[in-house]
Amino acid sequence: MSIRRQELSSKQLALILLLPSILIILCVVIGPLVFAFYLSFFKAEPIIGGISTKFIGISNYIYYFLKDPLFWSAVRVTTYFTVVSLVIELILGISMALVLNKSFIGRSFVRSIILLPWALPTVVNARMWEWIYAGSSFGALNGLMKVLHIFPADYDKVWLGFDVPLQNIPLIGNFMEWVGASTALNMIILADTWKVTPLVTLLVLAALQTFPDSLYEAAGIDGASSWSQFWNITLPLLRPVLLVVLVLRTMELFRVFDIIYILMQYSIRVVGVYTFETGMKFLNFGRGSALSFLVGLFILGIALIYVRVLYSEET
Amino acid sequence: MKKFILVLLMVGVLLVSGAFTALAAEEINVIYMAQAAYQPNEVRDMADLFEELSGIKVNLEFVRYDEQHEKVVSSAVAPIPTYDVFSLDLIWTAEFASKGFCVALDDYMSPAVKEDIAPAIMDAFVFDGKTWAMPFLANFQLFFYNIDMIKKAGFDAAPKTLEEMVEQMEAIKAKGICKYPWTDSWNQKEGLTCEYVWLTGAFGGDTFDKDAKPIFNTGPGLKALEFMVMLLDKELASPKSLTNDEPAARDDFIAGNAAFTSNWTFQYGSMNDPSISKVVGAGKMGLLPVAKDVLGKYTYDTASVSGFQGAAILANSKNKEAAWKYVRFITSPIVQRAYLTEMPVWTSVQTSAYAKTMDPVIDIKAKEIASVHHRPKVPPYPEVSSILQRYIHSALTGKMEPKAALDKAKTEIEAVMGL
């Protein structure tokens, strides 16, 4: 009996203990994933009691690449959202981490309070900013602008509007219109950045704390300015954590759905919103599945580029 | 280990058998979208009364309008549906009927029922010659105007035609009474399609013909869009209209920022509520104006858009008889008479002396509801409407010419419909 128990406590036991999680993952992750991949080769529509399917090969994918003008405009606007958000998040996140890495009075308090936005659920964050951006005199931002006398008392700006930023500057204006930038999108970027920057800060700060002081001391003795210390020591050392941040954030930003859907419904069609609209609103399950795999493909591509650029140089 | 599996099995058996007993009992599940219509407490009240009378238990679930469509779809696709009865927006009629999601109700309805409900209302739920939902709520758009502003501008009454309205708006703007006399809900959402449909009606036509083919890119449809663009170009319509939804447009009007607007029935209540409205007394409700050369075409010289809701039964419901009893009850004249917060669908209730005493504006409403135009009844409606919204909006924001925008919309819609 006791021997048997010992046998069980090795690999077998591990397997038994893992079995429930494996089953759950199979059912709720792998299963649907495989099914969605399967559906992406079909013209699939819901009918009563099930889904009707008609095999059409890779037509769904071809449709998006060659025929659908909305797909590429969705890719452009998503790329704009991703790139602009990433740049702001990285610059803000790294600078905040650098400040928090220095010792000052109340540092631990600031360090913990800075995480608060990150703790908010996205839906709550979106609803909160919806109130702030409200285009009427009830909007908090409009109220603030009036109190500061930046806006006249009878003027209310529509923050979530569709005017193209920098529209009047010749080339930049055209480019902005081409990528699908709008005041609303910029405001959403601001709202999303406010929430996510603390995460970047936290990750970078954790990495910064592992750097030995001796490096900086040596650099100081050699007469390096703080800028060149940052550029030549801190940034290269941060490379692995930046890779993590970049991959993680690009993934999340490229598949953004919630905040844009809550604030704008379908009027800003990033690929996430477009996928949902195609699949769940228009009920084209096949095309919706194809679209979600295309999004996955894009993210994979970007992640590969990051790994190439940031990782290979180091080794 | 064996014992553990045995216990698991037993729990499983208990759960499954429990589920089946629940199904066997007289009980129905209902999903209702809570929006600007009967409120959840009113719907619960109706259900309570029904439970008392019939002994059938009613489980109600309230969701937001945007969630209803998906919830119904996922329930219809499942072998055992989550819901038996659902509230159906008229724009889903063709889609759900063509996919076989709901039960045709013609066999349940007596001829008397069909006689007492105006064809304009009943037609909204007819597709392929069959009726797929019982009319429950009759929402539609009405004309709202600020009589004080009109009088200050030197006119004595609300405009009867669109041309008169433009004249009044120009005077109002010129005299500085109001910066943007027109406000509306023209953001890129379903509301935009609704506004466009009634305006197309006001210019004497429909967006789709009788054979469900798009015809909006010429004649009335084109005039309607050109009219909207003209209002924006002349700065008669507020630029905020482009981002307003219906509640936002209402807020504009009741804050006294506009002289005219079109909106759903719910605006009447807000307009006369002194705690939120600055236009109590000045804000009036009337019939939507039509173009001058359309006068005489319609019985009441007005055009509106329908936003009806029906009560429908899911085709895979295991409890269709009980479901019908419930549908019949909540849509019955006697219940509608008790809840006059919404426009009753029954002619006999609309014209009853009781309703006329309880609702002084029911006459206007009855005329407007008889003049509604429906949004296109085509199976891929969500996609069709989304295309329309996109191109109309790009014309409104000046990115495309109205004719070019509508031509492109037509081409894309034909591709989606396989025409």
Give the per-residue SS3 of chain A: CHHHHHHHHHHHHHHHHHHHHHHHHHHHHHHHHHHHHHHCCEEEEEECCEEEEEECCCHHHHHHHHHCHHHHHHHHHHHHHHHHHHHHHHHHHHHHHHHHHCCCCCHHHHHHHCCHHHHCCHHHHHHHHHHHHCCCCCCHHHHHHHHCCCCCCCCCCCCCCCCCCCCCCHHHHHHHHHHCCCHHHHHHHHHHHHHHHHHHHHHHHHHHCCCCHHHHHHHHHCCCCHHHHHHHHHHHHHHHHHHHHHHHHHHHHHCCCHHHHHHHCCCCCCHHHHHHHHHHHCCCHHHHHHHHHHHHHHHHHHHHHHHHHHHCCCC
Mark whether B404 and B294 lie in a shared domain. yes
Q: In this complex, which of A46, A161, A266 lies closest to B76 when CB atoms are compared?
A: A46
Are A281 and B386 inside 8 Å of each other by CB? Answer: yes
Average pLDDT over residues A34-62: 91
Chain A residue with CA closest to B391: the answer is A267
Residue A249 · residue A86 · CB < 8 Å = yes
Six-digit token pair at A240? 């692995």
At residue A110's C-alpha, the angle toward residues A106 and A115, to 5°, is 160
Q: Are residues B360 and B270 in the same domain?
A: no
A153 touches chain B (CB under 8 A): no
Residues 248-267 of A with CB under 8 A from B: 265-267
Specify the higher pLDDT residue, B342 or A190. A190
> How many Cβ pairs closer than 8 A exist between chain A and B?
64
Distance CA A38, CA A21 (A): 24
- CB atoms A162 and B100 under 8 Å: no
Residue of B67, B71, B77, B178 to mutate when probing chain A, most A C-beta within 10 A: B77
Say if B6 falls within a structural domain. Answer: no
Structure tokens at B222: 């084109």
Name the residue with tokens 């009707």. A52
Are residues B163 and B235 both part of a single domain?
yes
Measured distance CA(B209)–CA(B229) in Å, rounded: 24
Does B102 reside within a domain?
Answer: yes
Residue with tokens 């329309």: B388
Give yes or no for a contact between B307 and B179, defined as CB atoms under 8 angstroms apart: no
Q: Closest residue of A to B240, CA-based?
A: A158
Residue of B nearest to A49 (CA): B77
Is the CB of B239 less than 8 angstroms away from the CB of A47?
A: no
For residue A271, the model assigns a pLDDT of 94
Which pLDDT band, with edges at 50, 70 and 90, does A315 fall under? very low
What does the pLDDT read at residue A12? 86
Q: Which residues are B131's β-sheet partners?
A: B126
| Subunit contact B70:A280, Cβ cutoff 8 A | yes
Give the CB-side neighbour count of residue B78, counting CA atoms within 13 A: 14
Task: Tell how far CA A260 is from the center of its chain.
Answer: 12
Question: Angle CA(B218)–CA(B223)–CA(B224) in degrees, nearest 5?
Answer: 115
Domain for residue B169, yes or no? yes
Round to whole Å and give the CA distance between B177 and B164.
17
Count: domains in chain B: 2
Q: Give the residue on B whose Cα is nearest the Cα of A51.
A: B77
The answer to whether A46 contacts B251, with C-beta atoms less than 8 Å apart, is no
Using the Cβ of B79 and the Cβ atoms of chain A, whether some distance falls under 8 Å is answered with: yes
CA distance A246 to chain B (A): 33
B164 versus A167: the higher-pLDDT residue is B164
Residue ranges of domains in chain A: 78-271
Q: Under the phi-then-psi rule, with left for phi > 0, alpha for psi from -120 to 50, and beta for the rest, what region is B131?
A: beta
Check if A69 contacts B (Cβ < 8 Å).
no
Residues B242 and B255: their CA atoms lie apart, in Å, by 18
A78-271 folds as: MetI-like fold (1.10.3720)
What contacts A5, CB < 8 A, 6 or more positions away? none
User: Is residue B405 left, alpha or beta, with left meaning phi > 0 and alpha meaning psi from -120 to 50?
Assistant: alpha
* B1 within some domain: no
* Residue appearing with tokens 């959402």: B189
d(CA B300, CA B261): 19
B148 and B237 in a common domain = yes
| Same domain? B223 vs B360 | no
**Does A313 score more than 80 pLDDT?**
no
Q: How many CB atoms lie within 10 A of CB B406?
A: 26
Same domain, B175 and B216: yes
Hey, which residues does B135 pair with through a beta bridge? B310
Mean pLDDT of the A195-222 span:
91
Distance CA B369, CA A64 (A): 42
β-bridge pairing B27-33 and B57-63? parallel
What sign does the CA torsion over B65, B70, B72, B73 have? positive
Instruction: Answer whether residue B285 is part of any domain.
Output: yes
Same domain, B264 and B399: yes
Residue A308 has pLDDT above 50, yes or no: yes
**Angle (deg, nearest 10), helices A170-179 and A69-101:** 110
For position A160, what pLDDT does the model report? 87
Q: Which pLDDT value is given to residue A267?
A: 86
Burial A8-39 (b: 16+ CB within 10 A, else e): eeeeeeeeeeeeeeeeeeeeeeeeeeeebeeb
B316 with B213, same domain?
A: no
Q: What distance in Å separates the CA atoms of residue B39 and residue B32, rounded to the nearest whole number?
A: 10
CB < 8 Å from A in window 214-253 of B: 239-240, 242-243, 248, 251
* Mean pLDDT value across chain A: 89
* Cβ atoms B280, B256 nearer than 8 A: no
Residue B75 shares a structural domain with residue B129: yes
A280/B contact by beta carbon, under 8 A: yes
**Alpha-carbon span B265 to B268, nearest angstrom:** 6
Mean pLDDT of A175-198: 93
Smallest Cβ distance to A46: which of B66, B73, B248?
B73
- pLDDT (tens digit, 9 = 90+) per residue, A89-112? 999 999 999 999 988 898 889 988
Burial class (CB in 10 A: 0-12, 13-18, 19+), A113: exposed
Q: Contact B99/A47, CB-based, under 8 Å?
A: yes
B249 and B385 housed in the same domain: yes
Per-residue pLDDT, A153: 82
How far apart are the C-alpha atoms of B316 and B337, rounded to whole Å?
32
Q: What does the pLDDT read at residue B79? A: 84
**Does the distance separating the beta carbons of B188 and A47 come in below 8 Å?**
no
C-alpha A271, offset from chain centre: 12
Instruction: Name every residue whose Cβ is closer than 8 Å to that of residue B105 and which is 6 or more positions away in sequence.
Output: B131, B132, B133, B134, B312, B313, B324, B327
Q: Are residue B289 and residue B358 in the same domain, yes or no?
A: no
B316 vs A contacts (CB less than 8 Å): 48-49
CA distances from B394 to A45, A313, B251, B330 (A): 30, 47, 24, 42
* β partners of residue A47: A50
Structure tokens at B68: 């209803």
ipTM above 0.85, yes or no: no
Beta-carbon contacts of B329 under 8 Å, excluding residues fewer than 6 positions away, are: B46, B49, B50, B53, B54, B335
Residue A247's CB is within 10 A of a number of other CB atoms, namely 17
Determine contact, residues A280/B70, Cβ cutoff 8 Å: yes
Residue B89 pairs in a beta bridge with: B309
Q: What share of chain B is helix, strand, coil (3-state, %, to 5)?
A: 50, 15, 35
The stretch A256-285 carries a mean pLDDT of: 92
The answer to whether B58 and B51 have CB atoms below 8 angstroms apart is yes
Q: What is the pLDDT of residue B3?
A: 61
Report helix, strand or coil for B280.
coil
- Residue A7 is predicted with a pLDDT of 61
Nearest-Cα distance to chain B for A311, in Å, is 43
What values do phi and psi take at B411, rounded to 5? Answer: -60, -45
Shared-domain flag, residues B85 and B50: yes
Instruction: Report the alpha-carbon distance of residue B393 to residue A266 in Å, rounded.
Output: 13
Read off the CATH number of the domain in which B200 is found: 3.40.190.10
For A278-295, what is each residue's pLDDT tens digit?
998 899 999 999 999 998
Contact yes or no for B360/B353 (Cβ under 8 A): no
Residue A204 has pLDDT above 70, yes or no: yes
Question: What pLDDT does A49 receive?
Answer: 82
Domain membership flag for residue B17: no
Range of the domain at B90: 27-139+306-373
Domain assignment present for B14: no
**Distance between terminal CA atoms of chain B?**
63
Residues of chain B with confidence (pLDDT) below 50: 21, 23
Mutation for A interface: B188, B193, B245, B400, most A CBs within 10 A: B188
Span B407-417, pLDDT tens digits:
999 999 999 99
